[in-house]
Chain A
Amino acid sequence: MKTNVCCSFDSARALDIARGETPAPRSDFPALAQRVHDHPLVYLDNAATSQRPQSVVRAECEYYGSCNANVHRALHFLAGEATERYEAARRRVAEFIGAPDPREVIFTSGTTAGVNLVAAGWGRKFLQPGDALLLTEMEHHSNLVPWQRVARERGAELRFIPVTPDGALDLGAARRLLADGRVKLVALTWISNVLGTENPVSEIAALAHAAGALVFLDGAQGVPHRRTRVGELDCDFLAFSGHKALAPTGTGILWGRAALLEAMDPFLSGGDMIERVTLTEATWAELPHKFEAGTPHIAGVIALGAAVAYLERIGFDAITEHEAALNRRLNERLAEIPGLRVFGGAAPRIALVSFDVEGLHPHDLAQFLDSRGVAIRAGHLCAQPLLRKLGVNAVNRISPYIYNTAEEIDRAVAAVIEARKWFRL
């Protein structure tokens, strides 16, 4: 059965953001229509999680309402239907990210699970004392802590590509850090969840590969906003979450080159990931099942397939263009506010802005904005090392997505201005 996607946008025509046009029709997202504290909701916390279109919610419900059964096991009709839809989602995701082989697409619970899978399955098996891992100073805790643990366990060294005052990665330093040939893997984020910086992934991958290192890419903030081609990115692993890209929470993808995945040890073990089991030992199933122990989030994966279909229908050209227009507007308007400082600099950035306001703690600002119906994020954004480098404990973050309007940007900025008055700055 095919999933219906209700999206009427004609992607051939340029969007007029001044007229409130958005690549994704707002009517597809019922959550956006509500009022919060007597104000229309302005949802600008998309880097934390996106809203879901009705087609995604419907796809999840349809599974439970029709073909609900476990996958890859029973011979009955429903099991066959469920398995077919689950595997169709895998093929769709493979196309979505340009993966040559759907067997390389592993369903996980999210980016964090993907990092842990590779840190354990690859790191524990292949890292030797004296080896090094090269990370960056801008990583989310999820692409840092699992590497810290495996490095400690294996006696490997952690190195970090510094962040420049422009909010970019220091590629000269990266070259030097790779020079001795001890780095076995470079783990970095595609787009910073704090600075919005879009890193030159393929350039870094070329440096890494020339030095004999693999490349693990955290795509949590990249995949929702940029057309993803694993071949062009030139990474060896890519992890991302469904929930930041319209799909249900608890869904995610780990993509890896087949030869690497085959050489790795499983992460979780148990049912569905085995080939043959005796009382004392077991052999592993073929890819991708080797990495999908236990009953997966079947409904979520099917709905993830619907989310991918929705994004493809809108098209990343329209998404990129719209977000760039919102980003220009957001930065221009924020620049008018006295005492407001935007983190990051000249490096290329997506529509994601972290800032603080002198004399106004981010928690207090976010609380005020909430009272005006404006949802933003305040805190350390799970990137304490980067915030420490920026010299702050917490920041505010505004992160629009495909359904946000220019008017919403203006309303958020107006609320920041009002907050300064309210707190008598």
Chain B
Amino acid sequence: MVSAMSLDDLYQEILLDHARHPRRRGEIGEGEALADLENPVCGDHVRVRLRIEEGRVKDLLFDGKGCAISTASSSLLAEYAEGRTVAELRESIARFTAALRGEGSLDEFVDSDLRALEGVKEFPMRIKCATLAWHALAQALDHAENKPAGTETNS
């Protein structure tokens, strides 16, 4: 017997709001995308566009199709990342993906609603949904800085 689960832990109100009204979302043409990732498990898809100005991320935009968790995560990430430095974001990406793997907590994101994704940890099948946008952002930063593709692993 499997114990009762709380959907409310996974789908917190703030996440459902971001899923319904994703921020910084718009159409990105294939040529404009700096990263284009799919979640091979479910076929979900995310595209990222951004530019880097004086070491900071500007005009970040996400596009794609995904579940509520993946859409909310990309929306929260977009809000969080805009205007931050590339170095700072690389560290955040590492911390976020590690936290969802169970190594650390999202409490470090004190100034962001990203902490609402903490509940995803209890749903191992959904971790990929929550991290897809973050892997895409990492890839986009690599491309924006002209690093060779494929240096970030999609795990």
Interface residues of A (CB under 8 A from B): 34-38, 361-364, 367-368, 370-371, 378-380, 384, 387, 393-394, 422-424
Contact = CB atoms under 8 A, between A and B. Distances in A.
Contacts of A423: 11, 16, 68
A37 B5 contact: yes
Contact of B42 (A35, A393, A422): A393
A-side interface mostly: mixed
A394 B65 CA distance: 10
B123 A37 contact: no
Given A384-B43, A394-B44, A367 B3 contact: no
B3 A38 contact: yes
B66 interface: yes
Given A37-B2, A363-B67, A393-B65, A379 B41 contact: yes
B129 interface: yes
Contact of A393 (B10, B45, B68, B71): B45
B7 A422 contact: yes
A361 B5 contact: no
Nearest to A419: B7
Given A35-B1, A379-B41, A363 B7 contact: no
B43 A380 contact: yes
Interface residues of B, number: 23
A36 B66 contact: no
Interface of B: 1-5, 7, 10-11, 16, 41-45, 65-69, 71, 123, 126, 129
Contacts of A37: 2-5
B7 A371 contact: yes
Nearest 6 pairs between A and B by C-beta?
A363-B67, A361-B67, A380-B43, A393-B43, A38-B4, A379-B42
Contacts of B71: 361
A387 B4 CA distance: 33
Nearest to A360: B68
Contacts of A384: 43
Contacts of A378: 42
A364 B2 CA distance: 19
Contacts of B5: 37, 370-371
5 contacts: A37-B4, A361-B68, A364-B69, A393-B43, A423-B68
Nearest to A361: B67
A93 to B, nearest CB: 33
